[in-house]
Amino acid sequence: MAGIYIHVPFCYTRCSYCDFYKTTDQQLKDEYIKALCKEIELNYSFLLKEDIQTIYFGGGTPSTLSIDELDTILKTLKNYTSFENLKELTLEVNPDDVSTDYIKSIVDLGVNRLSMGIQSFFDGHLRKMNRRHNAEQAQKAIKVAKENGIENMSIDLIYGLPYMTFDEWKENVRLAIESDVQHISAYHLTFEKGTLYYDYLKKGKLREVPEESSVEQFNYLVSKLKNAGFVHYEISNFSKKGLESKHNSNYWSGVKYLGLGPSAHSFDGNNRIWNVRDIRKYCHALMNEQTYSEMESLTDTDRYNEFIMLGLRTQIGFRLDLMEAFNSVIKQYFSNELRHQLEQNNVTVDKGYCYISEDKKMITDSIISDFFYVD
């Protein structure tokens, strides 16, 4: 079982909080498609050997690609891998790229899951975030997608916005539930270096929300979505039963994946590979048979820390018997830390799994970092 991630680095504008790798230079698209198809060809052995079950177009904004461009990429993949066992083909879309024709065409291409960057249903928030859609477009895009063949849709929301009141957050959660989508991802705003919001934070133009507000918003979200029939299967992700993101769930459980495109990461079971985070360098290297990625072999410590991090972010946690795969020093460290975390009721051990206790999910990151082993 394996997955493919394709990074489409094009955006028309830059959102104020975003640190994903992207470019607003649309002129580079032709060159990018050629380089991407070349990268697919170079990875023929992975594609021929592995059973590809999920494909995820992320970004950037994949919906900036035309139907022909998406078709070219998928046809090139089909030259090297069968789509017979493909269970999920996700495309991230921006609401203002959605039209009836676009949705019908991507459904014809085989896309069976959309991930839509809604973020908020308030125009004021969207303007402050420099999103290019408005609230009305967001509502309309969801409706158009549903009416034209998308039966599995995820929407993204952001909480912890310094200018968002609790009542506005409640309304965002209400509208998300009312939109009757199958999956909701909700992320707390973070101030990442290199973003406009990071500068604003440093200059005192924005401030982080107090921790109590973050906790209040998160707890409200969790309780409302649970009442609405969503399963809280990962710290930031909620889905209707059986409609968890297969691609991301595989990633969290350590399945191999091939990342294509500038800044994309891959995992082959033993090594992490990451592509250059610069579209010009990426295209130039691929078209001139030069190196476009770096690789590192994972040590026991890397694998343990990753195992803990990915496992504890999910609802089911990680299998305790898999700890046997690590060396005795790490096993001893884990066993001491587990005792300490159990004493504080931060984690629960049940039926061979270890997971974050229900009322401690808000401090997941700090529990994970306590479990981390440093050589």
Between CA 254 and CA 264 the distance in angstroms is 16
Which listed residue (2, 15, 55, 184) binds ligand SF4 by CB under 6 A? 15
One of 43, 53, 61, 245 touching ligand SF4 (CB under 6 A) = 61
| Region binding ligand SF4 by CB under 6 A among candidate stretches 56-64, 195-203, 268-276, 362-370 | 56-64
Among 59, 261, 262, 317, binds ligand SF4 (CB under 6 A): 59
117 binds ligand SF4 (CB under 6 A): yes
User: Whose Cβ is closer to ligand SF4: residue 15's or residue 235's?
Assistant: 15
What is the length of the chain? 375
How near is the Cβ of 17 to ligand SF4 at its closest, in Å? 7
**C-beta separation of 102 from 141 below 8 A:** no
Q: Least distance (Å) from ligand SF4 to the CB of residue 285?
A: 23
- DSSP for 299-332? PHHHHHHHHHHHHHTBSS-EEGGGGGGS-HHHHH
How far apart CA 11 and CA 132 sit, in angstroms, is 10
Tell the residue number behind the tokens 């975030």, with chain if given. 129
Helix H segments across the chain? 29-42, 44-49, 67-78, 100-109, 123-128, 135-147, 166-178, 196-202, 211-227, 246-252, 279-287, 300-312, 328-343, 364-371
What dihedral angle (degrees, nearest 10) is formed by the CA atoms of 362, 266, 372, 202?
A: -60
Output the CA–CA distances (angstroms, integers) from residue 139 to 47, 177, 244, 258, 342, in the order listed: 38, 12, 22, 33, 44
Asked if 60 is part of the footprint of ligand SF4 (rule: CB under 6 A), the reply reads yes
CB of 324 to ligand SF4, least distance (A): 40
Provide the minimum distance between the beta carbon of 375 and ligand SF4 in the complex, in angstroms, as a whole number. 35
Query: Nearer to ligand SF4 by C-beta: 22 or 113?
Result: 22
**Structural tokens at position 6:** 């394709």
Considering only 4, 6, 8, 18, the residue that binds ligand SF4 (CB under 6 A) is: 18
Examine residue 161 and tell whether it contacts ligand SF4 (CB under 6 A): no
| Cα 255 to Cα 266: distance, rounded to the nearest angstrom | 10
Should residue 62 be labelled a site residue for ligand SF4 when binding is judged by CB under 6 A? no
User: Which stretch, 13-21, 80-88, 205-213, 226-234, contacts ligand SF4 (CB under 6 A)?
Assistant: 13-21
Nearer to ligand SF4, 275 or 346 (CB): 275
Contacting ligand SF4 (CB under 6 A), which of 2, 3, 7, 22? Answer: 22
Helix (H) or strand (E) holding 234: strand 230-234
Tell me if 157 contacts ligand SF4 by CB under 6 A.
no
| CB of residue 303 to ligand SF4, shortest distance in Å | 30
Phi/psi of residue 157, each to 5°?
Answer: -125, 155
Three-state secondary-structure class, residue 197: helix
Question: Measured from the CB of residue 58, what is the shortest distance to ligand SF4 in angstroms?
Answer: 9
Choices 54-62, 71-79, 120-128, 159-167; region in contact with ligand SF4 by CB under 6 A: 54-62
> Near ligand SF4 by CB under 6 A, which window of 14-22, 79-87, 141-149, 258-266?
14-22
Sign of the CA dihedral with 153 first, then 218, 236, and 196 last = positive
Q: Which residues of this chain interact with ligand SF4, rule CB under 6 A?
A: 11, 14-15, 18, 20, 22, 59-61, 94, 117
